[in-house]
């Protein structure tokens, strides 16, 4: 009956306090048959940028959906509460940049509203748990069939808050790329699309990070290099990434999200 | 068809061993269409008091439900296995105090049974996994429509085990309050209802803990104070709580659950 | 309509990156009404042996199911992608031994196929995320009613990769048994079936591990010994296991999975 497959839910709440299931309860209290899928609730506290990455990665596989995303260091301040529509999905959360990368991969924002319909909130509205009191009830309404215009006042999508773009700077024989993500395995994802790097299987690349200089083989998969070896590869998001076969590249290179990795590819490619 | 929205499940099992999904399987083996929501399985091992807090926090949002809660350091001993009813929900678990705070917020226990119908258990009953062998099958029966009297023998609710109440002691110019909970963000929840504290927005309060004395601003939300500052606020459970804007109050104050926080509010309020 | 109760999903993906929900999305994109239960996604990275233990423990309670299990250090290499059938379930994953212990407890493999129907995969197939691109789509097809022969080419079950069996060596007055699992509580599960040990309630047993020699009481449950005491008991999988009442045996004995525990039971039994 719904135009959405499910409500996809992401937060930085963690799973230990019951905050996530409280929101589930609010949603199923409004839409009893709601199907809720948990994207992740392990976003590091207050880290909207990391939340945006995880949401954007999973959005194409969950679309069409109501996305409910709450990583909200400014809860209770004057940051706006918003819902934005893409061609097939809607996204609900704070206006702090969390939602837009996902909206972008779904084709871009087609319209947006500020959530100002207090009669739709859980009341009294707390000052610190808008996930429960504002965002979950609104997401449930949208899942239940309400239109965007039913839950708020139209605002200009151009005025929505955006997170800074990750740094990528080309240099003479390669590129300086920011580490945009480090996953559960310690694989290091860089802010550069794989094709843009122009390397081929079997090439050798030199990378430079704060901890030193490393020679890295270009390969298709982790096992392209011996156990413990470094490999530069196109990851499952089609981005350039560095892994260690059977280990953690983040640990071996001693890098964190936000670090800059200098890749020197020019000379070794022999072009 | 069921009078309950779902079966709400809380344990200290963690998610790594498969214990949780084994119970899911037992339940759906009895009630194939069972809708199970996981409240939390990250309760610290054997910590019934923490389990009780998380269950009571989420219960109002999940009601009416079959609550299945297992934090059970005395498994296999002579502690009783029980089910208790409130006006709209039933709760199943060990008689160690875990269930009663949730039952209280749902209006109180209206009746209780000891689970002694061995024919309803998974057999042979193990001595160490009553979640699987006793509690899950009984919870499933209740979800499927069995009455409380069908799954056990009536007992006097007055005789149920209760956890000790958290300490709150008023003194000349304020209150000594136990830390009842520390959440995922490090927010410190105190054993005192917000209105009882009698402070106002903008007041200054002095708190004393083992690590020293701190001046704390009273505010509505985290952003009422500068980044890194301490704020005393009414949390989403309407309790007095202390947070650090963008950080962890538990770490900054070096307090754990059970610690006593002395709040001096009298003089600074100027009343 | 399906012959399976659900799709049971186990990985080493962790919950922080969104990899799990991406696979959920792939599955519900193919079978919208799919019911997915998460067995665990906390298998230690690349640890197929631990994954196999958790899967085999939960399989009997989830059967009949489509089991989708991905712990896959050799992703992208020449290890085969397979699906195997038991009498009532099917299991999908890499051919690295992960699936077979679960298949064994479900009665053994009745047939097996190599997954070589590229037209059923998500394309382009990445080199590092076969859970998303190969295994999830195939598991969804099987859940949706496809036969094993529809998703791959028959292979000989005898040729499937098997993990090494845990070590058990009998000696003069007892047994040397490998630690096969350590659970969330620190309970130490040994590679020996309880009945094979031939001990009785109240017996004393001497165990020897690298950290020293310990006297352990045989008991039915944790509370058979005083708080902090060691107890040897039949665990919920009917295996010999060692626990500490209210604590962690793994920590107290300083043992990890793979360690050898020497149990001397002969003399103390007095038989």
Average pLDDT over residues A76-85: 93
Rounded CA separation C178/C167 (Å): 5
- Examine the pLDDT at A26 and tell me if it is beyond 80: yes
B57/A22 Cβ within 8 A: yes
How high is the pLDDT of residue C113?
98
Supply A153's token pair.
Answer: 């006042």
The model's pLDDT over A54-67, given as tens digits with 9 standing for 90+, comes to 999 999 999 999 99
How high is the pLDDT of residue B268?
45
For residues C178 and C167, the answer to whether their CB atoms sit within 8 Å is yes
Kindly report whether the peptide bond that precedes residue A124 is cis, defined as omega within 30 degrees of 0.
Answer: yes
Q: What number of C-beta contacts closer than 8 Å exist between A and B?
A: 90
Question: Residues C146, C152, C153, C158: what is their CA dihedral angle, to the nearest 10 degrees?
Answer: -90
How high is the pLDDT of residue B202?
82
CA distance A28 to chain B (A): 8
A15/B41 Cβ within 8 A: yes
Percent of chain B predicted with pLDDT > 70: 97
Average pLDDT over residues C13-26: 98
- Examine the pLDDT at C271 and tell me if it is beyond 60: no
Q: Which secondary-structure segment (H or E) carries B51? A: helix B48-62
Label residue B245 by pLDDT band (50, 70, 90): very high
- Examine the pLDDT at B55 and tell me if it is beyond 70: yes
Q: What number of C-beta contacts closer than 8 Å exist between A and C?
A: 89
The residue among A269 and B22 whose pLDDT is bigger is B22
Percent of chain B predicted with pLDDT > 90: 90
Using CB atoms, pick whichever of A15, A77, A128 lies closest to residue B236: A128
Phi and psi, residue C101, nearest 5°: -60, -40
Beta bridge partners of C111: C85
Rounded CA separation C197/C181 (Å): 18
For residues A83 and A147, the answer to whether their CB atoms sit within 8 Å is no
Residues of B with CB under 8 A from a CB of A: 5-6, 8, 10, 15, 37-43, 54-55, 57-58, 61-62, 181, 183-185, 220-224, 233-236, 243, 246
Radius of gyration of chain A measured on its C-alpha atoms: 21
A16/B223 Cβ within 8 A: no
- Examine the pLDDT at A100 and tell me if it is beyond 50: yes
CA distance B21 to chain A (A): 16
Rounded CA separation C151/C145 (Å): 11
Tell me the three state secondary structure of residue C148: helix
Kindly report whether the peptide bond that precedes residue B124 is cis, defined as omega within 30 degrees of 0.
Answer: yes
Average pLDDT over residues A43-60: 97
Cβ within 8 Å of residue C124, ≥6 positions away: none
For residues B138 and B90, the answer to whether their CB atoms sit within 8 Å is no
For residues A48 and A40, the answer to whether their CB atoms sit within 8 Å is no
How high is the pLDDT of residue C22?
98
Q: Which chain B residues contact residue C38 at CB under 8 A? A: 21
Burial class (CB within 10 angstroms; exposed 0-12, middle 13-18, buried 19+) of A220: middle
Label residue C270 by pLDDT band (50, 70, 90): very low
How high is the pLDDT of residue B269?
44
Angle at C49 between CA C46 and CA C52, to 5 degrees: 110
- Examine the pLDDT at A271 and tell me if it is beyond 50: no
State the average pLDDT for chain C.
95
How high is the pLDDT of residue A92?
98
Mutant choice from A223, A242, A257 vs C, greatest count of C C-beta within 10 A: A223
Mutant choice from B60, B61, B105, B220 vs A, greatest count of A C-beta within 10 A: B61
Q: List chains adjacent to chain C, taking adjacency as at least 3 C-beta pairs closer than 8 Å.
A: A, B
CA-closest candidate to residue B237, choices A133, C127, A147, A264: A133
Percent of chain C predicted with pLDDT > 90: 90
Mutant choice from A7, A11, A25 vs B, greatest count of B C-beta within 10 A: A25
Burial class (CB within 10 angstroms; exposed 0-12, middle 13-18, buried 19+) of C87: exposed
- Examine the pLDDT at A268 and tell me if it is beyond 80: no
Q: List chains adjacent to chain B, taking adjacency as at least 3 C-beta pairs closer than 8 Å.
A: A, C
Q: Which chain C residues contact residue B77 at CB under 8 A? A: 221, 223
Q: Position of tokens 């998460």?
A: C38
The model's pLDDT over A165-204, given as tens digits with 9 standing for 90+, comes to 999 999 888 899 999 999 999 999 999 999 999 898 888 8
- Examine the pLDDT at A154 and tell me if it is beyond 60: yes
Label residue B271 by pLDDT band (50, 70, 90): very low
CA distance B46 to chain A (A): 14
Cβ burial C37-70 (10 Å sphere, 16+ → b, else e): bbbbbbbebbbbbbbbbbbbbbbebbbbbbbbbb
B76/C236 Cβ within 8 A: no
Query: Residue C241 gets which letter from DSSP?
Result: E
* DSSP alpha helix (H) spans, C152-244: 194-197
Query: Residue C118 gets which letter from DSSP?
Result: G
Instruction: Give, in order, the Cα–Cα distances in Å from A132 to each of A201, B92, B240, B247, C259.
Output: 49, 26, 19, 21, 47
CA distance A210 to chain B (A): 27
CA-closest candidate to residue A177, choices A163, A190, A196: A190
How high is the pLDDT of residue C172?
86
For residues B139 and B27, the answer to whether their CB atoms sit within 8 Å is yes
The model's pLDDT over A127-149, given as tens digits with 9 standing for 90+, comes to 999 999 999 999 999 999 999 99
Residues of B with CB under 8 A from a CB of C: 12-19, 21-22, 24-26, 28-29, 32, 45-46, 73-77, 126-129, 132-133
CA-closest candidate to residue A124, choices A134, A114, A116, A115: A134
Tell me the three state secondary structure of residue B188: strand
C75/A222 Cβ within 8 A: yes
- Examine the pLDDT at C268 and tell me if it is beyond 60: no
Beta bridge partners of A101: none
Phi and psi, residue C46, nearest 5°: 70, 5
Q: Which chain B residues contact residue C222 at CB under 8 A? A: 73, 75-76, 128
Supply A248's token pair.
Answer: 């953690």
The model's pLDDT over B222-242, given as tens digits with 9 standing for 90+, comes to 999 999 999 999 999 999 999
Rounded CA separation C150/C145 (Å): 10
- Examine the pLDDT at A267 and tell me if it is beyond 80: no
CA-closest candidate to residue B69, choices B15, B139, B21, B156: B139
Task: For residue C22, give the chain A residue with the closest CA.
Answer: A58
B74/C40 Cβ within 8 A: no
How high is the pLDDT of residue C122?
97
Phi and psi, residue B253, nearest 5°: -90, -10
Global confidence as pTM: 0.95
Using CB atoms, pick whichever of B16, B73, B77 lies closest to residue C40: B16
Using CB atoms, pick whichever of B58, B220, B221 lies closest to residue A18: B58
CA distance C7 to chain A (A): 15
C19/A222 Cβ within 8 A: no
Label residue B201 by pLDDT band (50, 70, 90): confident
B221/A77 Cβ within 8 A: yes
A21/B37 Cβ within 8 A: yes
Q: Which chain B residues contact residue C49 at CB under 8 A? A: none
B46/C246 Cβ within 8 A: yes
Query: Residue A224 gets which letter from DSSP?
Result: G
Supply A260's token pair.
Answer: 């800059």
The residue among A261 and C174 whose pLDDT is bigger is A261
Rounded CA separation B126/A86 (Å): 53
Three-state SS for B197-247 is HCCCCCCEEEEEECCEEEEEEECCCHHHCCCCCEEEEECCCCEEEEEECCE
Average pLDDT over residues C84-111: 98
State the average pLDDT for chain A.
95
Average pLDDT over residues C181-197: 95
Q: List chains adjacent to chain A, taking adjacency as at least 3 C-beta pairs closer than 8 Å.
A: B, C
Tell me the three state secondary structure of residue A265: coil
Rounded CA separation B14/B201 (Å): 40
Supply B20's token pair.
Answer: 């949780």
Average pLDDT over residues B246-253: 96
- Examine the pLDDT at B255 and tell me if it is beyond 50: yes
How high is the pLDDT of residue B266?
64
Using CB atoms, pick whichever of A55, A58, A181 lies closest to residue C25: A58
For residues A71 and A47, the answer to whether their CB atoms sit within 8 Å is yes
CA-closest candidate to residue C155, choices C67, C89, C85, C217: C85
How high is the pLDDT of residue B77?
84
- Examine the pLDDT at C266 and tell me if it is beyond 80: no
CA distance B46 to chain C (A): 7
CA-closest candidate to residue B52, choices B115, B7, B6, B10: B10
Pairing mode, if any, of strands A168-171 and A212-218? unpaired
- Examine the pLDDT at B138 and tell me if it is beyond 50: yes
Residues of A with CB under 8 A from a CB of B: 12-19, 21-22, 24-26, 28-29, 32, 45-46, 73-77, 126-129, 132-133
B132/C57 Cβ within 8 A: no
- Examine the pLDDT at B148 and tell me if it is beyond 70: yes
The model's pLDDT over A209-262, given as tens digits with 9 standing for 90+, comes to 999 999 999 999 999 999 999 999 999 999 999 999 999 999 999 999 999 999
Rounded CA separation C64/C164 (Å): 27
Cβ burial A242-256 (10 Å sphere, 16+ → b, else e): bbbbbbbbbebbebe
B32/C5 Cβ within 8 A: yes
Percent of chain A predicted with pLDDT > 90: 90
């Amino acid at each position: 009956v719904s135009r959405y497959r499910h409500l996809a839910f992401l937060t930085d709440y963690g799973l230990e306090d019951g905050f996530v299931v409280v929101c589930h309860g609010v949603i199923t209290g409004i839409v009893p048959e709601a199907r809720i899928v948990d994207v992740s609730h392990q976003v590091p506290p207050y880290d909207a940028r990391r939340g945006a990455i995880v949401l954007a990665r999973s959005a194409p596989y969950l679309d069409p959906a109501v996305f409910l995303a709450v990583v909200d260091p400014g809860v209770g301040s004057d940051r706006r509460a918003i819902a934005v529509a893409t061609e097939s999905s809607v996204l609900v959360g704070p206006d702090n940049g969390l939602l837009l990368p996902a909206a972008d991969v779904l084709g871009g924002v087609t319209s947006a509203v500020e959530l100002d319909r207090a009669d739709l909130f859980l009341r009294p509205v707390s000052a610190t748990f808008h996930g429960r009191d504002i965002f979950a009830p609104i997401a449930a309404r949208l899942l239940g069939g309400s239109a965007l215009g039913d839950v708020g006042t139209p605002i200009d999508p151009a005025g929505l808050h955006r997170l800074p773009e990750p740094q990528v700077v080309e240099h003479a024989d390669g590129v300086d790329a920011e580490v945009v993500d480090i996953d559960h395995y310690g694989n290091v994802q860089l802010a550069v699309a794989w094709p843009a790097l122009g390397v081929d299987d079997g090439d050798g690349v030199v990378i430079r990070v704060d901890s030193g200089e490393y020679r890295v083989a270009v390969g298709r998969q982790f096992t392209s290099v011996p156990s413990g070896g470094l490999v530069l590869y196109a990851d499952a998001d089609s981005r350039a990434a560095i892994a260690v076969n059977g280990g953690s590249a983040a640990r071996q290179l001693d890098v964190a999200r936000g670090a800059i990795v200098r890749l020197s590819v020019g000379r070794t490619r022999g072009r």
